[in-house]
Chains A and B, each alone.
Chain A
């Protein structure tokens, strides 16, 4: 089956600076409104698959809610990797600390990949995405 544009939302459902998750034919996508222009990228973060609609959109920069990896929403390009978290001044139990360090070591080996982008077309009040 060839590609086709499918309506996924109405324009008034996506205000400037906002993100919205949609699912079309089993594909999870996030659409974002950047100063009136609509863009669509893969819903899952290119780092650890977190749902990106829970993140933030500052201009064209999409920030993941889990580890704050950043992406260019207009191109899908990964701009930065995860930001290391701090436990603050609290010292957790040794077992937990070891586990967290283990997770940190594993996480440092995960590459942050670019996001797949989807073509968007506006027809009247309809936002359509090419699938």
Chain B
């Protein structure tokens, strides 16, 4: 299967999910393409496009919470960062994704 065609298809499918959630693809095209490439790798291995930046466990229920786009399962966390964990998606108002940081959930909870 053609990797570029699959990346294009994932973009098409994800766009319809993240748009109503207030997110968009990161404007950093190089990062977006790299992350989608990793998702295609994971999909070819597992049959499911998991988040490339979160580790799989033996718990299927937990793994299902990191199927991209996983925003609905981590809404408060991602909204606080204005990006998803791997940075494929950012809030619609974000113009410069380099200004956003990965912050762990515990850090957010502890203020």
Q: Which of A58, A60, A61, A78 contacts B1 (CB 8 A)?
A: A78
* A84/B46 contact (C-beta < 8 A), A61-B13, A70-B9 known: yes
* A79/B47 contact (C-beta < 8 A), A58-B13, A60-B12, A61-B12 known: no
Determine chain A's interface SS by DSSP, over half rule: loop
Closest chain-B Cβ to A15's Cβ sits at a distance in Å of 19
- The answer to whether A83 has its CB under 8 Å from any CB of chain B is yes
A81 to B48, CA, bound (A): 10
Q: Which residues of B contact A84 (CB under 8 A)?
A: 46-48
Q: A81-99 CB contact bits vs B (8 Å, 1 = yes)?
A: 1111010000000000000
A78 to B48, CA, bound (A): 16
A49 to B83, CA, bound (A): 40
Q: Which residue from chain B places its CB closest to the CB of A85 in the assembled complex? A: B47
- The answer to whether A80 has its CB under 8 Å from any CB of chain B is yes
Q: Which of B2, B16, B47 contacts A82 (CB 8 A)?
A: B47
**Cβ–Cβ contact A81 & B1, under 8 A:** yes
A70 to B48, CA, bound (A): 12
Q: Which residues of A contact B6 (CB under 8 A)?
A: 79-80
**Cβ–Cβ contact B13 & A80, under 8 A:** no
- The answer to whether A112 has its CB under 8 Å from any CB of chain B is yes
Q: Which of B16, B44, B46, B48 contacts A58 (CB 8 A)?
A: B16
Q: A65-84 CB contact bits vs B (8 Å, 1 = yes)?
A: 00000101000011111111
A72 to B13, CA, bound (A): 12
A83 to B60, CA, bound (A): 14
* A83/B47 contact (C-beta < 8 A), A58-B13, A60-B12 known: yes
The chain B residues found within 8 Å of chain A, CB to CB, are 1-2, 5-6, 9, 12-13, 16, 43-44, 46-48, 60
